[in-house]
């Protein structure tokens, strides 16, 4: 088991093959290339085959936690590889370490309990069938909705995002440069990115996303996502969040999608209530463990 600051091309191929094998078995992770930056931990078996991989984001989240993800190749599970990776992460980061477990897998829970990790955060995935009864968006008086204009609206969106998510470990730290990187992705669709304006100032947004079909994810169908809904705190409480959400839902429905998902913190009861009234039900959870 070795740590690397950077992966050479051969190691990148190994990690890619492991991540593809994991996605074929579990439907996760969505990305099958090693993340840029941070540290990489590779665990090989006695034959030299990559049995497990962990990535440590050393830049940390907005609250100073270093955040890791670890994945064991499906045909190497139940052999202690996950435990060894968890111990190596804990040794590397004695304090303020968080580790994601996607899907709230029982094996991950057993390793966490055995190695002294506790459940610190639950990211809930909710899903809804598209609904012909979703109403026309009804923004508050004086507020208009329009779609995103690339090259013009980036700074306004990032500023609203920072105010709306100053409490969030990841989302609140979004920069213009990171946003522009997302714009370059093949899935980015400005026609599915809705902005709310009052007196010419952006006060909220709904960023939608479409995931390609994969046989092990969400029933094997192409699926839409309520990717991010952000409302400036000064504009909250008048139904703007619901209006933005419905605008995106109707757009995804009109693209011919059958189901839509979203991610929400499990302790965000007001948001869960709004989404439940729009037809969303709890689907699965991702757990972040703390050491």
Q: Name the nearest CA neighbour of 230 among 241, 222, 221, 220.
A: 241
| Residue 151 assigned ligand-binding role | no
Residue range 276-289: average pLDDT? Answer: 94
| Residue 72 assigned ligand-binding role | yes
Q: How confident is the model at residue 249 (pLDDT cuts 50, 70, 90)?
A: very high
Task: Give the dihedral sign, CA 109/212/272/158.
Answer: positive
| Residue 39 assigned ligand-binding role | no
**What contacts 19, CB < 8 A, 6 or more positions away?**
29, 31, 32, 33, 34, 53, 71
| Residue 81 assigned ligand-binding role | no
CATH 3.40.630.30 fits 127-285, yes or no: yes
Q: What was the pLDDT predicted at 105?
A: 85
**Residue-wise pLDDT tens digits, 81-124:** 999 999 999 999 988 999 999 888 888 999 999 999 999 999 99
- Compute φ and ψ for 220, nearest 5 degrees: 80, 15
Q: What was the pLDDT predicted at 196?
A: 98
**Residue-wise pLDDT tens digits, 24-62:** 998 888 889 999 999 999 999 999 999 999 999 999 888
CATH of domain 2-116: 3.40.630.30
Q: Name the nearest CA neighbour of 205 among 188, 192, 187.
A: 192
Per-residue DSSP letters for 272-283? HHHHHHTT-EEE
Q: How confident is the model at residue 4 (pLDDT cuts 50, 70, 90)?
A: very high
| Residue 89 assigned ligand-binding role | no
Centre a 10 Å sphere on the Cβ of residue 22 and count the other Cβ atoms it contains.
21
| Residue 230 assigned ligand-binding role | yes
**Higher per-residue confidence, 260 vs 220:** 260
**Residue-wise pLDDT tens digits, 202-223:** 999 999 999 998 887 778 899 9
| Residue 200 assigned ligand-binding role | no
**What contacts 69, CB < 8 A, 6 or more positions away?**
29, 54, 55, 99, 100, 102
52, 72 contact by CB (below 8 A) = yes
Q: What was the pLDDT predicted at 183?
A: 96
Query: Distance (Å, rounded) from C-alpha 49 to C-alpha 287?
Result: 28
Q: Which two tokens stand for residue 54?
A: 């962990």
246, 179 contact by CB (below 8 A) = no
On the question of pLDDT at 70 being above 80, the answer is: yes
**Residue-wise pLDDT tens digits, 121-160:** 999 999 999 999 999 999 999 999 999 999 999 999 999 9
Q: What was the pLDDT predicted at 202?
A: 98
User: Nearest-5° angle of CA 183, CA 188, CA 189?
Assistant: 120
> Rounded mean pLDDT of the chain?
94
| Residue 96 assigned ligand-binding role | no
On the question of pLDDT at 168 being above 90, the answer is: no
| Residue 28 assigned ligand-binding role | no
- Compute φ and ψ for 255, nearest 5 degrees: -80, -5
Q: What was the pLDDT predicted at 220?
A: 84
Q: What was the pLDDT predicted at 236?
A: 87
Residue range 245-273: average pLDDT? Answer: 95
| Residue 238 assigned ligand-binding role | yes
| Residue 209 assigned ligand-binding role | yes
Task: Give the dihedral sign, CA 142/143/146/151.
Answer: positive
Query: Distance (Å, rounded) from C-alpha 74 to C-alpha 80?
Result: 12
Q: What was the pLDDT predicted at 146?
A: 98
Domains 2-116 and 127-285 share a fold: yes
| pTM for the model | 0.87
Domain boundaries, the chain: 2-116, 127-285
Per-residue DSSP letters for 171-204? GGG--HHHHHHHHTSTT--GGGEEEEEETTEEEE
- Length reported for the chain: 291
On the question of pLDDT at 291 being above 90, the answer is: no
- Compute φ and ψ for 237, nearest 5 degrees: 100, -5
| Residue 236 assigned ligand-binding role | yes
Q: How confident is the model at residue 74 (pLDDT cuts 50, 70, 90)?
A: very high
Percent of the chain with pLDDT over 90: 83
């Amino acid at each position: 088991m070795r740590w690397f600051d950077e992966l050479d091309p051969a190691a990148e191929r190994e990690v890619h093959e492991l991540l593809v094998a994991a996605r074929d078995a579990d439907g996760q992770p969505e990305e099958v290339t090693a993340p840029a930056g941070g540290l990489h931990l590779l665990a090989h078996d006695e034959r030299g085959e990559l049995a497990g991989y962990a990535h440590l984001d050393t830049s940390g989240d907005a609250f100073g936690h270093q955040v890791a993800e670890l994945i064991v190749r499906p045909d190497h599970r139940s052999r202690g590889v996950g435990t060894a990776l968890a111990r190596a992460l804990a040794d590397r980061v004695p304090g303020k370490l968080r580790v994601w477990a996607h899907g709230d897998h029982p094996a991950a829970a057993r390793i966490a309990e055995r190695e002294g990790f506790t459940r610190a955060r639950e990211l809930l995935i909710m899903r809804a069938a598209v609904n012909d009864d979703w109403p026309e968006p009804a923004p508050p008086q004086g507020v208009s909705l329009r779609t995103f204009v690339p090259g013009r609206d980036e700074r306004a969106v990032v500023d609203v995002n920072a105010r709306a998510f100053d409490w969030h470990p990841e989302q609140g730290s979004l920069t213009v440069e990171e946003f522009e990187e997302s714009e370059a992705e093949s899935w980015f669709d400005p026609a599915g990115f809705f902005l709310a304006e009052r007196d010419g100032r952006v006060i909220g947004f709904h960023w939608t996303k479409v995931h390609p079909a994969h046989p092990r994810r969400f029933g094997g169908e192409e699926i839409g996502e309520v990717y991010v809904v952000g409302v400036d705190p000064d504009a909250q409480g008048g139904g703007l969040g619901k209006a933005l959400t419905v605008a995106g839902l109707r757009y995804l429905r009109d693209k011919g999608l059958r189901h839509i998902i979203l991610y929400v913190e499990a302790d965000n009861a007001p948001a869960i209530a709004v989404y439940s009234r729009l037809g969303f039900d709890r689907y699965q959870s991702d757990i972040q463990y703390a050491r």
